[in-house]
Amino acid sequence: MATNPIPRLIDRFGRVHDYLRVSLTDACNFRCVYCMPAGKQMCKIRPTTMTRDEILTFARTFVQLGVKKIRLTGGEPLFRADVGPIVQDLSGICSELSLTTNGFFIDKYLEVLLSAGIRSLNVSLDSLKSERFKLLTGRDYFARVWRNIGLLLKHQVNVKLNVVVIRGVNDDEISDFVELTRHLPIHIRFIEFMPFAGNSWSSNKVVRSEEILEQVGAKYPIKKIPDGLNDTTRKYQIPGFCGTIALIGTLSNPFCGNCNRLRLTADGRLKNCLYSTSEVDLLSAMRNGADIVPLIENAVLNKARQTGGQLSTDVSKISSSLLVNRQMVMIGG
């Protein structure tokens, strides 16, 4: 494995960026209500989509600039036909390689993921009720996803369940998810419902992370456990339980002060923040023979202090219609 050089991706606020999220595709076999706008069709590889070789070139460039961790996202990254070779290409070029998935294709690609050294996966799962899962995702796949989560645990893969909590939709399942940690070494991450183009967001649907914590604390003797330097989560554990829970309060309690993340979309555009109002077209520049390093460094330098300069921590003051951004599925989770 190559040794990381001195970090070069430092913004105006002194934040070092050593974590790159790479979207392999904006296609997905699910239709999650908070991610996939109604009417959007499953996409195929287009001329504007990064090729396998281009993804590897980008990854190597970012690693040379100090990136230590790469996470593959989508859409659904395992929906891409050449995901196996891409994972193999990327294995070993950075300190940590991981992936976020809806869990549907885990059984198909488990051997590839394990051989690439991937030992931690984020799995999106917003309900433990089969019928509600179907309503949220537009697909009747709960049994398969749950079976694949069990398969990951059997192979001692660190499983983090991403749960987007939406008021009046699945907030009554918070305790059910917490109960999973009693006997399973699983990590539940409760995520505030965030606004994106076309996802029918409104402030009254947001369950703030503090509200979730209060609800859990009223039933369980929760204990705070240490967070990592660049964690997006606040972590807790219930004494005697095998797993942990965590809160991601992007809206009410942003973690921007120590953010180390960059995003590369499936069409090769660099976003220095999930809510950045601008993007840098690295793919076109690279295809035209330009040096992309100055473009990357300049994009990082111009990163806003918090949430792209667009969001207020007072959720009631956020107007989703005024946000300048793409649909979540087009950005990458």
| Domain containing residue 269: CATH number | 3.20.20.70
To the nearest 10 degrees (0 to 180), the angle between helices 174-183 and 209-217 is 60
What's the confidence (pLDDT) of residue 40?
55
Stated pTM of the model = 0.94
Q: Which of 198, 299, 285, 187 is nearest to 244 (CA)?
A: 187
CA 261, distance to chain mean position in Å, is 11
Please write down the long-range contacts of 150-154, taking CB distance under 8 Å and 24 or more positions apart.
151/106, 151/107, 151/110, 152/106, 152/110, 152/121, 152/123, 153/184, 153/185, 153/186
What is the enclosing helix (H) or strand (E) of 196? none
Residues of the chain with confidence (pLDDT) below 70? 1-5, 37-45
Is 326 part of a structural domain of the chain?
yes
Residue 14 lies in a domain: no
Give backbone dihedrals phi and psi of 328, rounded to 5 degrees, phi first: -55, -45
Give the number of domains in the chain.
1
Residue 4 falls inside a structural domain: no
On whether residue 279 sits in a domain, the answer given is yes
CB atoms under 10 Å from CB of 6, counted, come to: 6
* 13 domain-assigned: no
CA 237 to chain CA centroid, Å, is 22
Distance between CA atoms of residues 319 and 303, nearest Å:
22
Region class of 146: left (phi > 0), else alpha (psi between -120 and 50), else beta: alpha
Residue 199 confidence (pLDDT): 84
The pLDDT assigned to 58 comes to 98
Beta-sheet strand order (sheet of 120-124): 223-224, 234-237, 244-248, 186-192, 158-165, 120-124, 96-101, 69-73, 19-23, 261-264, 269-271, 280-281
Specify the pLDDT at position 44: 55
Alpha-carbon span 93 to 120, nearest angstrom = 17
> Does 205 reside within a domain?
yes
CA distance 67 to 141: 35
Q: What pLDDT does residue 51 have? A: 97
Range of the domain at 327: 19-331
Q: What is the pLDDT of residue 3?
A: 55
Q: Is residue 291 part of a domain?
A: yes
**Cis preceding linkage at 75, omega within 30:** yes
Does a structural domain hold residue 89? Answer: yes
